[in-house]
Structures are given as C-alpha cells and as structure tokens.
Chains A and B, each alone.
Chain A
Amino acid sequence: MAQQPYVEKNTGLTLGLNLDDYWYEARHCVSCAGCKWIEQNYFTGLDFAHRCPQIQYGKFLAHGAAGKCAIIWDLITGAIDWTSPGLTKVAYMCTLCGGCDVGCKRNLDLEIQMMLESLRVKMVEKGVAPLPQHKAIADNIDKKHNIYGTDQKKRLDWMPKDVSPAKNASLLYWIGDRSSFVNTEIAQATVKILKAANQPFMVEKEEPSSGNLLHTTGQADKARKLAQQNVKLIKDRGAKTVVCSDAEEYRTIKVDYPKLLGINTADLGFEVKHITELADGWVKNGTLKLGNRVDMKVTYHDSCGLGRLSEPWTHWEGSLGDWGCWNPPRNIRRGMTGVYEPPRDLLKAIPGIQLVEMPRRRDQAYCCGAGAGAREAFPDFALFAATERLREAATTTGAEAIVAACPLCKQNFKDAAKDGMKVYDVTEIIAQAIK
C-alpha cells in the first residue's frame, strides 16, 4: 500500500499525550544543542557540561532530544517502522528528567518533554512497548497495588512506635511505594518532622501505587485509571493538602494526574506539597526547630521531580497558527518555579551544615539516572549517570555527602557510591537536626 502523505495536525491540539500533536516539535528543532549541554553560562570548564545523561552515555545524536526530534518525524510520517530495533533504546534509555525540555525552552517554546512522554505512549499503543521490565511493574501493580509486588499489608511496617497518624486530618502524607518498602528511613524521617512540627497528618493504610512508573513508561491508560482512583481517594479522605517526601510521587500527583485527566493542577481539589516546602515554612515561622548540630559538608542534588518537573500543569486546547504561534497563547512550563530554594534554606538553617553547590544545579541539575523506568531497563546507564553525578559532587564541592529529595535518587546514588560519598535524603538531615 502506498504511503499516505503526512498531514500535520494544527487544530484540536491539547499538547497532552498524543504524539501527533508534536509534529511541530519534531520538525522545528534548530540543533542548538540546548538539550545536550547545560546552559553555557553555567559551564565551569571542560567537565560537567552535559545536561543529558543519555547522550553522554549513548554518544550518538539519536540519544539526545535533537536526534529524537528527527526520529519522531520519521516515525510519524511513516518513514521508520515502529518495530525498528534501535527505537527501544533511544526512547527508553532516558529518565524523562526534563533537562532537554527546559534547555530547549531557554529560548524556544517546543514541548520536548511532552513529545518524549507521548512517544512512549504511542509505542505502547503500537505494541512495541512496554519493555518486559516495565510490564512486570504493571503486573505487580495490577496484582499487588505496588511496584514491588509486595504484600500491601506491610506498607506501614516502618512507622515508628511513637508516631500516631490521625484518623482524620487536613494533611495527608502520601508515602509512595519506594519509601514504604525500600527506603523506609525517608518515611520515618518525614513523620518525625511532621511530629516535631506538631502537624497532624493522615496516611492511607494500604496506599495504592501512584502509577508514576506506569505513566512514565507510556502505559497511560493504566496510569489514568490509577489517577482517577487516587484523586477520588484523596478527596474522599478529606485531605486539603497532600504532602510527599518522594519527589517522583510529588510530581506524579501534582503534575501527571491533571495531565492524564485533562484538568489543571488547581482543579485537583487539594494542594500537593513536598515535605521540604512545608518544613521550610515551619522553620521560618518558628513552628519547627532545628536545634541539633549536624557537622557535615553537603551538596544538594535537585531531584527532577521536585525541581524542573514540578511546575503546576495547565490544561490547554487550541490550534497552531501563523509563525508557529499557539492560539490561545499558552503558559510555558520552563522549570523556573520548581522547588529549588526550600530544601536549600532548610539545610542552611541547620547548625553545622556547610552547603556547597555543584555547577549543575537547580533547573540545570544532572539527573541521577534512575527515573522513568531507566533504572529497571538499563541499569548500566542508571549506574553511569549516578556515578557521574557523584563524581561531580566529589570533584567540584569536596562535600562529604550528597543530599537528594527522592528515594529513587538516594537508592541510585547509594548503588553507585558503594563505600565512597555518603548519600542522604534531605528529610534524614532535617530529622537529625530536630532535638
């Protein structure tokens, strides 16, 4: 059958998870390498200049967003077959960290992140994804409601004896699978903070999986179902504020749920906060006291989910007009209002902590390498990225410890650090400082 000529889609756009909405992105990359390098004003020399772990590891241009634009063009016009073997690695050896997206948006308005998320959704639709490792996660969620396939009843086993969550409270602590079953020290530190700040909070005894890994691996239908269920659950619990200690859980509920459901973050019916946002406010208004000295030189790693990926989602529908202008105009999420300062302010407020910054920080942060199913499907790549980030921490700051805001970051760093640099979650440091 003759190939049908491609007709671009200019109306009925939502710039959600439909890859057809991103023909403009695929066609209008200008090869400026903003997706490969951090913003050049932040360069400190020959080293630590990459923003994209995938192209640094994979080397070929296809592994950077610019190359992916060219590939996606060929996919949507039918010039490349969806079953091409190279596509899997290009699409999935990527943490969807948003680095390329904010790099591109330094000057342009191309929605690279959404294009890449949509690519995975399309690959699942086409039957060439999910990868076996990601399917296994979906199966675990289906059967056991968590990514590990572990008994849900053990979900709160980590809870300290001296902490009693409220039956009802306006604050719901959404723990997440990772902190519930693996990095439980983070959950423990979080509840210690909440208790020290005299903040009543609820937890969900058999908290369902958020669907973070379903969404980020392109399994949008399953993710959407979970989003619907979980939003209802949160509302039914009467929570006004959901607090997360896991950056990936945080961005999933705050950003990806509205995206999947076609609504705005503001329309969720509740606020979503990271523990550092709340704790920072409590320290500044005197509610939380950090009186214990913690003598440590640390550097802070901006977890993607808390940083550049955390800006609220705004639903949009419209068309693409002359000169490539969107009608109506859109709010472009450039990572400028991510949660960068609260974790830093908290660390600086702790007596004895010396905070030193890495060159790649805030919206320019280099991803730990673990997210969006990359750690599960491409462990060597994940290890590479984490090792690279630790090298940056050690070489440029002389810090004893790297501090992140996400159990996925922490675990990936720990695996790479071995006996080297210490790795903490920010909640642990804060908890240490609580008298």
Chain B
Amino acid sequence: MSEEKKETQAAPPAPPKIPDEAYSELEAIVGTDYITKDPVICQGYNGRGYGREAFWYQGLTVKPGCVVMPRTAQEVSKIVKLCYRYDIPYTSGSTFQAVANSALLRPDFVMIDLSQMNGCYIDDKNMFAVLEPGLTYAHLNSELHKRDLYFISPGGGGQPSVVSNQMFQGQGIFNYRINAHSERRMNGVEWVTPEGDIVRVGTFLDDDKHVFWGHDPGPGLLGHFKGNTAWWGTMGILTKMSTKVYPFQPEPMVPEGLNQEIALALPPRVRWQNYTLPSEDALTKSMMELANEQICAALNRVPSFWREINRGGGRSDFWERWRKVTPEECAQTHILRLLFIGYTSQEQLDYEMRVAEDIVVKKYGGTARRTKQTDNGSFLYSIVTGMWKPTGFYASENVGYASPRATWAMNDELVERANRPPYDKVFFNQYREHQWYAPFSLGRVMYSESMFHPDCEKMDPANSKFDPGGTLVPFLTFLHSEVPTTLIKYGNVNLFGNGHINSKLILGPAWHNYHIWTQKLKAEFDPKDVCRKGLADHMDIVINQVPPCITEELKNTIKQSVELGWKDE
C-alpha cells in the first residue's frame, strides 16, 4: 500500500467509554472508595487467568472501563439497573480464580467485583449454609469442619467462590456421596436478573435465614442457574446462595508443614488408602463394586503424572522425574485411591476398609500401597494448581458428567486421538495413560477430565514462539472438533463446554437443540443483551474466525446422530 493511501485511511474508531454521568451515578451507589476507573487498577482485572491460551483469540481478556465493588444485593441491583438504562455492558466476578469466566469483550465494560460480599450464615442443625459470592470453599469448609460438617471441595481447589463454582458445576471427588449436581444441593438463591430486579428463588422466598430447601412452590427454577457460572455470566448475578452441607466426622484435621509439604494430619476417622490394580479392567470393576456397596467417601483413579506433580519440587524436578517414566510403566499403572471417612464411627470406617480389602484385593487382585495419612488436596486446598507445573498451561479439554461406560469409552478414544498426528506433537506426552476419573452419585455418574497440556508459548500471540499452524490450530481443532466428536459418538453430555467453549450452533443439534431454548431465555431476561454483552453468541462468531478447527468428521457425526434421533411425525 502506498504511503499516500496509508495517510488517507481513517483511524479506527476509539473504543466506547463509560459516560461520565453514569460513572458519577455508580460512585453515588457504592461510594468513592469502592469504584475506580484508574487504568492501572482496571488492568488488574485483565489477567491471564486459567486457560487464557485457549480463549485469547476470542478477545475475552480486555481491561474493564471501570471496576465497582458493591457490598449488598441492593447495590448490585442499582448498578445493574443503571447499566441497563445506559446500555453499558457489565460483567461480574467474585474470586476471579478463572479470569476467563469473568472476562470481557470490550473496554467499556463495567466490572462488578463481588469480593466484598462475603457473608456466611450456617445452620448447623439443619445442615445448610447461606453464602455470598465472595466466599471461597476453603472459608466455608474450614467453618464447617468445626461443626462436624463438610462440603465438596472442587478439583479447582478451595479458592473459587462457592456461589460461582456451584453455578458452574460444583464438582469435586466428594460428589461420590454428595450428589453429582449442585442444583440439587441448592436451597435457594437471591438473583439479580440481567435487568436488575432482585428475585428470590427457593426458600429465600420466605426468609433470609431459614433457607433450607430448594423446591419452589411450583416448577423449580434452580436449574436455570447452572452452567459455566450461570451461562458464562450472561444470566445476571447471584448475590446469595443457600446450599445444603453434609455430616462429617468429629475429629480435627490439623495442618502441619511448610509450603509444598503442607498437609492436614488425618485423624483415625479419616483415612486414605491407595491400591495398585493389575489392570484397568480390575480398577473399573473394583470401583463399581465399591460404589454398589456404598462405601468410601471418595474414590478416584490417579494418573501417573499426578503422582509426579505431587512429589513436590519445581518444573525441572517434575521433568527430571517424568523423563525417567517409561510408556510401559504408565501402561501398567492402575492406581485406585480411596478415601474413608468414619461418618458414623471408627467401627464403620474399619468395616469399610475390610469390605474394600474384600473387593479390591481379594476379588480383583489389587495390592494395598503404603499411603501417607495426610491430605493436601481434598478438604481445603487442592493441588490442582500443580496441573500447571508440567508445561505452564493445561486444558481440561473435556469435563464430563456421563455414565461410566460412556466416560471410559470417551476417555480411551480421546487418548487415542491425542496421540495421532498432529496432536502428538502438540501435547506433552502422557504415554497414552488413561485419564483420571472419579465416580459421582455412588457410581452412576463417572466424572472425568481429559487433560492435555500444550506448550502455551506456542499458543500465545504475544510470544515470539507463537506457532498458530503447528500448535494453536491443532489445539483448537482438538478442543472444538475431536472432543465433541468423541462426546457425541458415545453420547456424553459435556456440561463444561456447551455453548461457551464450544459452538452451540454447531453442537446444539446433537443435544436436542437446547441452544434454541437458551437463546430464547437469554432474550427474555436480557433483551438488550447487556449482561456480559455479546458473550452468549460470541463463541459462534469467533469460531468461524479460526478455521479450520471444525472438521468434517464432527459435522458428519452430528448429522448421523440427528438422523438417528427423534423425528416429529
């Protein structure tokens, strides 16, 4: 292009700003100490966060135009109403653990930081907790343990917001006994709709404290508040949630140690036991039979590289150990980890251990391994942060709530696909080991995450190693095509991705066109699309900008599924 032509080209339009008048009104709502538009402070909300490499191309990480910190639901309501009136898009976050979940599309967004709303009320006797969004699982669980109660602690660790994460999934290994589905644990929510109305659901309708049950006086509405922090934050803001909590055991778990050696010393009524099984078949059969016997508090399969991560040290230490692991070793590694909790008594725990011995050892040929009686990653903390240790980035390419055989079939096929070209050059080599999985709901649901670790520098456009063709596109193809193809083939539901990591327009038809319903409900509750503006449809727009990550195989798989499915007569 000639210099003359460059000069005459129009400059790109300046990004929209938050009007000064609107900012003043926001200031009046929360007070000057609780609002800022300083670009440095705002930039603090534009972190890389979990999974940035998977989402950067969506333009999901942009500095907000201002940050406002309400302390009450009424303030949240006023803020939202103001944004609605001015048509200013807004988003919200509470603990900001996964920044992408509160990410933005444009620099005129208002970021509603809910971290100062961190109240908690626990009804010990009736076993429920009423929480505000700024409270983390670790806060809740550490309070509950004092009352001989406990709650799930998600795989993501003790630091996500309980309210936000329960809307997302609310999953952790304790879902084995504590229902796979968080909407069935909720007793009620206080919801600021995308238009700013405060609506109470469940027994919040009656009382702010006696919020003990989640069945509404008619059709239940709590299922609406699910999915990637409630529709990836596009369906308003929850300012309170009441959740059931669960009976635990009375003996204290005392923390000890420094840094990487920190762990809870387990009392006799809490016990881990690891077993090595002779085959994966023996492991899965053990798992199902244990579940049928309704024993244990949690059980999961432990992949080899998790053990190496958990052995401490840094990234170099991990690689030093991992490079010595052979494919044969991985192929022969079938570790089942069982958690026992003496909910009823020590006698009950001892009984369960005997039954486990009967099943895992005597029946399926397992060997009990020496197991440390400490816990560093289940009750309060989670070492999942260690998942970043191998490569600096990982992606749960799939998070599934499916029946056991569907999960195992999907896992095995995803491992197979990940080892085919070009993916075999993209992901760190896990030697084709089975992915981790853990039964929920006493074995009816087999939760799993397929974790694949690419070199994030090669996926990052800000890095000189950025390699879109060799790394980013295969990664995205795996995420947007290989994984959904496999899910659809075996019939798995993917609660993690649908619509927000993957394209709902492409995948929706394979699941009864649910996306048409969600589009309608979004339009109903947010007709101006102000709540996280544009995000509901964003993935579908962007995915077309990154060809060729949608494969013909995916399209054909969807077509075949639809052809076999329901036809109106």
Contacts and interface: CB of A to CB of B under 8 A. Distances in A.
A–B contact via C-beta, under 8 angstroms: yes
Nearest to A41: B255
B39 interface: yes
Given A60-B44, A68-B44, A31 B49 contact: yes
Contacts of A86: 36, 38-41
A394 B568 CA distance: 71
B39 A84 contact: yes
Q: Which 4 A-B pairs have the closest CB atoms?
A: A67-B44, A62-B44, A86-B40, A86-B38
Interface of B is mostly: loop
Interface residues of A, number: 64
Contacts of B390: 323
A320 to B, nearest CB: 9
Contacts of A63: 44
B28 interface: no
Given A40-B138, A74-B43, A325-B316, A29 B259 contact: no
Contacts of A37: 136, 138, 159
B381 A70 contact: no
Interface string A6-42: 1110000000000000000001111111101101111
Given A33-B97, A80-B43, A323-B315, A106 B159 contact: no
A43 B142 contact: yes
B426 interface: no
A304 to B, nearest CB: 14
Interface string A57-83: 001111110111111011001011000
A30 B258 CA distance: 22
Interface of B: 34, 36, 38-50, 63, 67, 69, 95-99, 113, 115-116, 118, 120, 135-136, 138-139, 141-143, 146, 157-159, 255, 258-264, 314-317, 319-320, 376, 379-381, 383, 385-386, 388-393, 428, 455-457, 460, 462-464
A290 B120 CA distance: 47
Contact of A70 (B43, B67, B383): B43
21 contacts: A27-B460, A29-B49, A33-B96, A33-B159, A40-B136, A40-B142, A40-B158, A62-B40, A62-B45, A66-B47, A67-B44, A71-B43, A79-B43, A80-B43, A85-B40, A106-B262, A106-B385, A108-B315, A323-B392, A329-B314, A362-B258
A109 interface: yes
A41 B262 contact: yes
Interface string A35-54: 01101111111100100000
A103 to B, nearest CB: 9
Given A29-B48, A62-B43, A108-B385, A323 B455 contact: yes
A305 B36 CA distance: 34
B328 to A, nearest CB: 23
Contacts of B142: 40, 43-46, 49
Given A6-B462, A45-B139, A322 B258 contact: no
B155 to A, nearest CB: 12
B138 A31 contact: no
Nearest to B119: A46
A8 B159 contact: no
Nearest to B374: A41
A363 B259 contact: yes
B157 A40 contact: yes
Interface in A352-400: 362-363
A34 B67 contact: no
A326 B313 CA distance: 13
Contacts of A44: 142
A334 interface: yes
A62 B264 CA distance: 31
Given A40-B159, A329-B320, 19 more contacts: A30-B385, A31-B47, A34-B385, A39-B259, A41-B381, A46-B120, A60-B36, A60-B41, A62-B40, A62-B42, A62-B45, A69-B47, A70-B47, A107-B386, A324-B315, A324-B456, A330-B314, A334-B259, A363-B258
B139 A49 contact: yes
Contacts of B263: 41
B376 A41 contact: yes
Nearest to A69: B47
A220 interface: no
A363 B464 CA distance: 37
Given A33-B159, A39-B262, A80-B40, A70 B96 contact: no
Contacts of A144: none
A107 B383 contact: yes
A240 interface: no
A322 B50 CA distance: 20
B260 A32 contact: no
A335 B258 contact: yes
B45 A70 contact: yes
A105 B455 CA distance: 20
Contacts of A70: 43-48
Contacts of A45: 139, 142-143, 146
Contacts of A335: 258-259
Contacts of B146: 45
Contacts of B41: 60, 62, 67, 86, 90
Interface in A243-272: none
B48 A30 contact: yes
A336 interface: yes
A249 B47 CA distance: 35
B146 to A, nearest CB: 7
B69 A31 contact: no
A332 interface: yes
Contacts of A106: 259-260, 262, 385
Contacts of B319: 323, 325
Contact of A32 (B97, B264, B456): B97
A77 B408 CA distance: 45
Contacts of A59: 34, 69, 113, 115-116
B426 to A, nearest CB: 12
A102 interface: yes
Contacts of B393: 28
Contacts of A64: 44
Contacts of B392: 28, 323-324
A39 B96 contact: no
B316 A43 contact: no
Contacts of B463: 8, 27
Nearest to A320: B457
A34 B259 CA distance: 11
A187 interface: no
Contact of A31 (B38, B39, B50): B50
Most buried by B among A28, A41, A44, A336: A41
A73 B45 CA distance: 12
Contacts of B39: 80, 84, 86
A402 to B, nearest CB: 21
A87 interface: yes
Most buried by B among A49, A80, A106, A363: A106
A59 B146 CA distance: 28
B540 to A, nearest CB: 26
Nearest to A322: B455
A366 to B, nearest CB: 15
A56 to B, nearest CB: 10
